[in-house]
């Protein structure tokens, strides 16, 4: 009688690999899910951090512009210098 575990008379067939592969995929998927949700929130994952910190030069420049200390022309001029220095390419990247 031919079953899934015995492929003819030559021993186990290709089905013998199905369950170890299935378990590996289930365990790997569970670990990946935990890393993306639970474990990252405990470490303060990168998706929770703001793109620009409150003490960064770009944020300080934005606060100065918002409070009226500098005008729009000076804001864009200084922002372009900061973008060159910090490697940002978008015109409004620091806003």
Q: What confidence score (pLDDT) does residue 5 get?
A: 58
Count CB-CB contacts under 10 A for residue 37. Answer: 10
Residue 63 tokens, joined: 């606060």
Model pTM? 0.37
CA dihedral 42, 47, 49, 50 (to 10 degrees): -160
Q: What is the pLDDT along the chain (95 residues), one digit of tens a residue?
A: 455 555 566 667 777 888 899 999 999 999 999 888 887 666 555 555 555 567 788 888 889 999 999 999 999 999 998 888 775 554 554 44
Give the DSSP per-residue string, 61-87: HHHHHHHTSS-HHHHHHHHHHHHHHHT
Residues, the chain:
95
């Amino acid at each position: 009688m031919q079953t899934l575990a015995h492929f003819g008379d030559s021993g186990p067939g290709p089905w013998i690999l199905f369950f170890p592969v299935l378990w590996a995929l289930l365990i790997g998927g569970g670990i990946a899910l935990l890393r993306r949700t639970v474990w990252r929130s405990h470490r303060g994952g990168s998706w929770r951090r703001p793109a620009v910190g409150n003490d960064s030069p770009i944020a300080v420049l934005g606060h100065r512009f918002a409070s009226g200390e500098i005008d729009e022309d000076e804001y864009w001029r200084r922002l372009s210098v900061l973008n060159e220095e910090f490697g940002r390419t978008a015109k409004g990247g620091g806003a």
